[in-house]
Structure 1
């Protein structure tokens, strides 16, 4: 049985996107490897803060039906460069119970293992639902701080938490909380400021995601606020050179208890839209590395909405904050034009033997030597299609019908193609310098 210190997957723990049923062999193998990762590896594989994606990758592979042999192969490729979980700066659990010590250790990756052990003891004693409500959602100074950190690091702690909840693994939830504690909190400061601004000046005419994407792109001050040399294009660009403009647009996307489900579907559809449509013809089809994280995090919000232990107010808030950050992310890459025809007219590179249909797309993603980003993106796009089914051709749903599978093909074709796997900061011309023109592509 899964616990805060033990990872245990069953054939029933396969997540929200169904592709192929799982086997007991694969369940045993993924549990074994995730346990090894949990026990031995740090949540950052480098001193620079690059994230360990093993849990994300293996759970996605497992959820989509990959066999034990594929799961083991992908693990071996990415375990080789991980760093040890423990450091020379361990802090005792009892010491972390002191608010002063807990606060002093926040934002420091060297305390990851200490935080992990601390949260394991809390999860064991109180249950994971109660711990999340206490440490992330209580509305006090301590929980507001940690919730802000959960959205840091390009949403990695939030993604990690989503996997833990979706696949019913308290140990992964503990990793997510410890990871959040190791991130800094500038993201949370922006989110709290946006929330405060929205409450101070409630809008009488909320707008859709798509409307706001268009308006952000047309606002020249905001859409050019980030510069190529900014270390972090939200923190050092948008929030320095156009903070009032960013707040103005972000606060016009409003989530309420009444529209929570629809706004969730809208967020999912719109993040996939601005990620897939941000192409730069005639350059190769590539996806922006940063936009991709908005999509990969989107898959978990329907699961959050189904949690009975989460209050409606907190479900609304979690989604509202996601919207604030997504809109800032779009602005921070210089708000690239969104070319829907790049999706609708796309001709997949492989159509034989079902390679261009979802089972074939997932099979090809299994076999890709990658750190997990690509297969997460493919699964999240398929989730977008499933989420959109009940809404039909509503105005805010830019992605619809045949376009879902087209985007799935764009994902796998782009990462199988030559050159770097991802483009970075696609609104800047510099992001595309190293990519080839594509006269050879079928659609050209």
Structure 2
């Protein structure tokens, strides 16, 4: 039985968060954070558009808290997401009861209208069994529901994975319920068959294992993959372009990212995928243009902190940990392809000259990020980069740098990417902070020239 009610948000002082730099916490944080997130849980939909459009309130508020924000910073983070806060739809009690039936549960999946029904359903399941047992049952078993939900965890630019991750990090049953409900109801993005095909190829006799960085290069070199996506397909380029036209070609590449089932294997896989995601987000620049990061690839970094969190849960079997890491890396290259498979040139990161963040260290950058107006994306990215740097450093110390040559972003480059993200987004209108596809020439036309 969970200690907290599955419909009650109560972040507590004795629960430490990931990648904290200072343990000093303002005393006004906890009443504020709980009031804000309870309001969000009770009254706000997790979607603000008919398809996708994610309410980032939980992400923003909890990240700002984890980075040392005070009560006023938490309120600012809440207000900065007001454009994403829409009224939660009413619950249909009859449907909630019927969802105990597997066929009914599956019938309503991938329909955002049913978010509230799934939320109430998972609240009840967690009240009865506890959130760990519910996650086990609905994600990490071989039932049809769990198999479908495992795919849905990666839908919507990793948002269900991120949301469930926040619930685990802060031991909040209500937020775990939100994340599971988001996964169940999230609109279909056409990624399930790709994951299945990757698994089939990877399990065949003589299957290849290739460093993830090389797989990005293979994607770029494949003409059919590059031609399958078009700028006008917008955020649905995976669903409408890549998967209908080049899934087999992409799966042959993605299947080569394979992770063993022992601790050292999956730890290397975690760090490798985070490092390549950081390269993907930051190294797709244009000579002569000011630095900008790719919006879609940025999420591959922000979700990495929760991939690591899940992989370190002792109650999740190593087989499922390896699968989480493999699928995440395989989806990362799909998002890279959806952004036009731009050339990734590390020199853009190594030679980057910081502007607003010049002379900052991690602590100063955290403090500046906490105070900046944003919907939470920048803060999540900065924290994930700091977390990845810390984990990579520890891993390199244990196994030796000669065994970590497949990490393109390493050492102080983690911080350089964080500086680039802060400098390129601070005091910039929300719809101009990121590029929605760094591999497409027209996206760069509105970016100012480099000084």
TM-score band w.r.t. shorter chain: over 0.9
Aligned runs of 1:196-345 on 2, under 5 Å? 196-203=200-207, 205-231=208-234, 232-258=236-262, 259-345=265-351
Q: Distance in 2 between matches of 1:218 and 1:81?
A: 38
Is the 2:112–2:187 Cα contact (8 Å) retained in structure 1?
no
Look up the match of 1:188: 192
**Superposition deviation, residue 417 in structure 1:** 5.8
Residue 19 of structure 1 corresponds to which residue in structure 2?
A: 21
Corresponding residue for residue 395 of structure 1 = 405
1:379–1:202 distance in 2 versus 1, CA, 3 Å: farther
- Contact 2:254/2:330 (8 A) holds in 1: yes
SS in 1 for 2:191: helix
Q: What TM-score do the two structures reach when normalised by structure 2?
A: 0.92
Are 1:378 and 2:388 an aligned pair? no
Describe the shift of the 1:424–1:351 C-alpha distance in structure 2 as closer, same or farther (beyond 3 A).
closer
Match of 2:421 among 389, 408, 411: 411
- 1:27-66 equivalent positions in 2, closer than 5 A: 27-66=30-69
CA distance in structure 1 between the aligned counterparts of 2:185 and 2:88, rounded to whole angstroms: 13
Deviation at 1:238, TM superposition (A): 1.8
Task: Tell me the secondary structure at the aligned position of residue 81 of structure 2.
Answer: helix
| CA distance in 2 between partners of 1:332 and 1:338 (Å) | 14
Count of paired positions: 436
Tell me, yes or no, if the aligned pair for 1:91 and 1:111 is still in contact at 8 Å: no
Over the residues paired in the alignment, what is the CA RMSD in angstroms?
1.8
1:425 aligns with 2:441: no
- Mapped contact 1:426–1:432 kept (Cα < 8 A): yes
CA contact (8 A) 2:167 2:176 kept: yes
Structure 2 counterparts to residues 81-100 of structure 1, below 5 A:
81-87=84-90, 91-100=94-103
Deviation at 1:81, TM superposition (A): 4.8
- Is structure 2 residue 143 aligned with structure 1 residue 137? no
- 8 Å Cα contact 2:51-2:187 kept in structure 1: no
Q: 1:151·1:188 contact (CA, 8 Å) conserved in 2?
A: no
Give 1:286 shift.
Answer: 0.9
CA shift at 1:182, angstroms? 0.9
Question: 8 Å contact 1:85–1:113 — kept in the other structure?
Answer: yes
Single out whichever of 42-51 and 406-415 deviates more from structure 2. Answer: 42-51
Q: The residue matched to 2:28 in structure 1 has which SS?
A: helix
Call closer, same or farther: CA 1:13–1:279 in 2, change over 3 Å.
Answer: farther
* Deviation digits for residues 18-43 of structure 1 (CA, Å, limit 9, x no counterpart): 12222332122112211111111110
Q: Distance in 1 between matches of 2:347 and 2:52?
A: 37
Matched position secondary structure for 1:200: coil
2:12 aligns to what SS in structure 1?
coil
Give the direction of change, closer, same or farther, for the CA distance of 1:236–1:19 in structure 2 (3 Å limit): same
CA distance in 2: counterparts of 1:299 and 1:340, whole angstroms: 22
1:188 Cα deviation from its structure 2 partner: 2.2
Shift in alpha-carbon separation, 1:206–1:375, aligned structure 2, 3 A: same
Question: Contact 2:275 / 2:409 at 8 angstroms: preserved in 1?
Answer: yes
Which is further off, 257-266 or 1-10?
1-10
Inter-partner Cα distance in structure 2 for 1:365 and 1:90? 42
The aligned residue for residue 8 of structure 1 is 10
Instruction: Check whether the contact 1:70–1:366 (CA below 8 A) recurs between aligned residues.
Output: yes
Contact 1:11 1:23 in 2 (8 A): no
Relative to 1, partners in 2 of residues 1:409 and 1:351: Cα closer, same or farther, differing over 3 Å? closer
Deviations 1:55-85 (A, max 9, x none): 0011100111100111012212323651111
CA apart distance, 1:276: 1.1
**Is the 8 Å Cα contact of residues 414 and 421 (structure 1) preserved in structure 2?**
yes
Counterpart CA distance in 1 for 2:106 and 2:418 is 43
- Between the aligned partners of 2:110 and 2:439, the Cα distance in structure 1 is 30
